[in-house]
Amino acid sequence: MKTTFLKQLLYVFVIVFSLSACNEEPNLIENSKNQKESYLLKKTEANEIDTKLAEYIKEYSGRDAKATFIGRIINEDNVPIEGAKVVLGTQKLETDKNGIVLFKSAQVKQHFSYIRASAEGYLNGSRVIVPDLGKENQNSFTIRLFKFKEIGSIDSEKGGEVSFRSKKGKGKGKGTVYFNPGFTDESDNIYEGTVAVSINYLDPLNPDTANKMPGDLYGITQDFEQVALGSYGMLQVELRGESGEKLEIIEPAKLIMPIHPDQIATAQKEVPMWSFNEYAGVWYEETMAYKEGEHYVTEVPHFSFWNCDAPFPVDDFCAIFIDPLTGNPIVGLRIEISYGQPPFKRFAITDVNGKVSGKVPSNLLKTIKIFDNCGNLLDTSQFTAASPSGCHIIQLQVTPPSQIFTLSGTVQNCSNVAINNGYISISHSPSGIHFMNISVNSAGMYSYTGVNCSLPDVFSITGVDLSTAEAETVTKTIYSGTNTQNITICGNALPSEYIRYKINSSPFYHYDLLNPSGGIKANKVFVRASSSTGHTAIEGENTMTIGNYPFGNGPNTMFMESLSHIHGINISGTAALPSLGRLSFNITAIDPAPGATGTYISISFAGNYKNNNNSISYSIEGDARIYRDY
């Protein structure tokens, strides 16, 4: 009887437990469903803001214009990043081995150029420039990219906290991020597992922050008004799942951000928090931060770059610094602009036009300090009013030991023909510190006027021909006054890897030589390479043997996915051309064996194609020779 009773009692417990479990399952599902619905609603609202911001920026950015841009993409150790993808307007290029990218006649807006950079293994970066539209002028930029560095991890179902430190203040300015449970991946699926957290704090008074922060210190309020910003500090928080996927929070997170010691005494009690909108390229006001002791405390609904900033009415600012003896613009000056209280600061480097420009607060006294490349203060000036119709012209008087110099010359090839598609890179030879990149003009000439903390000194000057991906480096002792250095770039007639072609039987070839790559993956052949105007990519399915293949996007065909020539290639328009005479491909060398990496993939191509600009068909003839990398 006792055994029977115990068995019956056990059955009752099992049934009750099973019923309880079954009753809890729908609640768990419902909670997950509600959590996801709440997140999707929030995301829809965010997408609407993206669209409104982009439309607003477009409306107030002025007319369409064309300009030249030369940029340098570097990592946290100032090392150039090769193969970084840089997007400006509708153009997308890749950096060369020096981390340099050159856009010629890029389509931009008169008052707003938004440049985005990305690279494998790095977090995205960007810059906003008010472009100089002069015909022979160029716009320079540097973007520093962060690697994802895990400083802590949390359980997605429990949440948790991760701390970070600045390099200033007591205890080096400790800050903390508190996470609630609940995360989604980029496909909006609920994520379960360990969440890796990367946090980068940007010091608002560090000159290097100008290269690390996205965009510019320019924002749009919740009432859609333009403002200049004064920063108390920025925070970049990135989240990754166990497979490296990017994650986002569902519920708001709490941020405790340290205030710079030099700003604590005058820091405002309440300050707006701004997120950087990558879609529009501008800071957007989303919430408020409140001062608690030596920290600002806030809650944020999502993660991107966050900026704790005081807003000010905005003016356009422009200043040009010139050598009063020669009238030449002075390149590479370190400029510090301070305004308001605590005070706020922003930093810039004069470009090849001797110019700095951007959005600054109106009707506030602004102090400009000018430094040489060694950090010596050269001059100080003040102004309140906005820039005149042109720019503020500041004639810089330099006293020893700092001295002004000019370096100029011509870049040519082996045949003594001027190179008009290239650039000069100048650095300090003993230290390796990089100074400036300068695009050569249409006659292959360059000119650089700068200030050095002592002369004579030794510089390293590298000339690069973007049409052939060849370079030549020379060292030269620079003296006060005028210095001349011509450079002849004379290397192999044809590199080992390339894609080259000519259009409509033109007598010259167009070369794509930068960042070549090729391989076989999932029964498909790929080859690609870049030039200063874009990249060319050829792809084929089931084409792993030597032979002829028609244009198409299916088995046993090949197509040109992109073409670096002007207006590119229209794939559907080309596919619709008559088969007789249409672009086709001939693979002349390939080894499909799994271990055959390092061998060449060689492809010739010829025929008619259509570009993206009009209905006219063009003829193209060329070939590709690319190492198999995978």
Closest CA to 568 of 629, 613, 505: 613
CA distance 282 to 218: 7
pLDDT given for residue 582 in this prediction: 93
pLDDT class of 34 with cuts at 50, 70, 90? low
Looking at the structure, tell me whether residues 335 and 385 fall in a common domain: yes
* DSSP string covering 179-244: E-S-EEETTSPEE-SEEEEEEEEE-TT-TTHHHHSSS-SEEE-TT--EEEEEEEEEEEEEEE-TTS
For the ranges 15-29, 41-55, 119-133, 336-350, the lowest mean pLDDT is seen at 15-29
Total domain count, the chain: 5
Give the highest mean pLDDT range of 131-140, 304-313, 504-513. Answer: 304-313
Cβ pair 381, 459 in contact under 8 A: no
pLDDT of residue 11: 42
- Looking up residue 125, the CATH number of its domain turns out to be 2.60.40.10
Q: How confident is the model at residue 1 (pLDDT cuts 50, 70, 90)?
A: very low
Q: Based on the domain organization, do 159 and 299 belong to the same domain?
A: yes
Q: What is the DSSP string of 281-296?
A: TEEEEEEEEEEETTEE
Q: What is the pLDDT of residue 290?
A: 97
Q: Is residue 39 part of a domain?
A: no
- Three-state secondary-structure class, residue 427: strand
For residue 4, what pLDDT is reported? Answer: 43
Which residue, 312, 338, 357, sits at the end of a domain?
312
The per-residue pLDDT for 29 is: 42
What local confidence, expressed as pLDDT, does residue 21 receive? 38
Residues 307 and 158 placed together within one structural domain of the fold: yes
- Closest C-alpha to 38, from 154, 178, 188, 239: 188
pLDDT at 43: 58
Same domain flag for 304 and 321: no
Q: Using CA atoms, how far apart are residues 453 and 46, in angstroms rounded to an integer?
A: 49
Q: In this structure, are 296 and 364 located in the same domain?
A: no
**Does residue 164 register a pLDDT over 60?**
yes
Per-residue pLDDT of 397-426, as tens digits, reads 898 889 999 999 999 988 889 998 889 999
Question: Does the structure show a pLDDT above 80 at 467?
Answer: no
Domain end call among 251, 279, 312: 312
Residues 440, 588 share a domain:
no
Q: Evaluate if residue 25 carries a pLDDT over 50.
A: no
pLDDT score, position 615: 73
User: How much is the mean pLDDT over the chain?
Assistant: 86
Q: Compare 467 and 545 and report the one with higher pLDDT.
A: 545
pLDDT at 189: 92
- Choosing from 395, 411, 444, the residue where a domain stops is 395
Amino acid 477 reads T
Residues 6+ apart with CB under 8 A from 359: 130, 216, 217, 218, 226, 228, 314, 315, 316, 317
Give a yes or no: residue 588 inside a domain: yes
Confirm whether 560 is domain-assigned: yes
The pLDDT, as a whole number, for residue 558 is 94
| Helix (H) or strand (E) segment spanning residue 32 | helix 2-60
What residue type is assigned to position 154 of the chain? I
Residue 30 lies in a domain: no
- Identify whether residues 308 and 319 lie together within a single domain: no
**Residue 389: what pLDDT?**
63
* pLDDT per residue as tens digits for the range 57-79: 888 888 888 889 999 999 988 88
Please write the tens of the pLDDT for every residue from 559-597: 999 998 878 899 999 999 998 889 999 887 888 888 788
Q: How far does Cα 263 stand from its chain's mean position?
A: 30
Q: Are residues 343 and 421 in the same domain?
A: no
Same domain, 265 and 165: yes
Domain hosting residue 125, numbered range:
64-144
The answer on pLDDT for 298 being more than 60 is yes
Q: Is the pLDDT of residue 483 over 80?
A: yes
Q: Confirm if 183 and 249 have CB atoms less than 8 A apart.
A: yes
Interval 493-536: pLDDT, tens: 456 788 988 888 665 568 888 888 899 988 899 999 988 778 89
pLDDT at 332 over 50: yes
Does 374 reside within a domain? yes
Return the pLDDT at 267: 92
Contact, 583 vs 576, CB < 8 A?
Answer: no
- For residue 513, what pLDDT is reported? 84
124: three-class secondary structure by DSSP: coil
Q: By percentage, how much of the chain surpasses pLDDT 90? A: 48
Q: Do residues 590 and 625 lie in contact, with contact meaning Cβ atoms separated by under 8 Å?
A: no
pTM to 2 decimal places: 0.72
546 and 602 in a single domain? The answer is yes
**235/297 same-domain check:** yes
Same domain, 618 and 471: no
Classify residue 226: in a domain, yes or no.
yes
In a domain, 38, yes or no: no
Residue 260 lies in a domain: yes
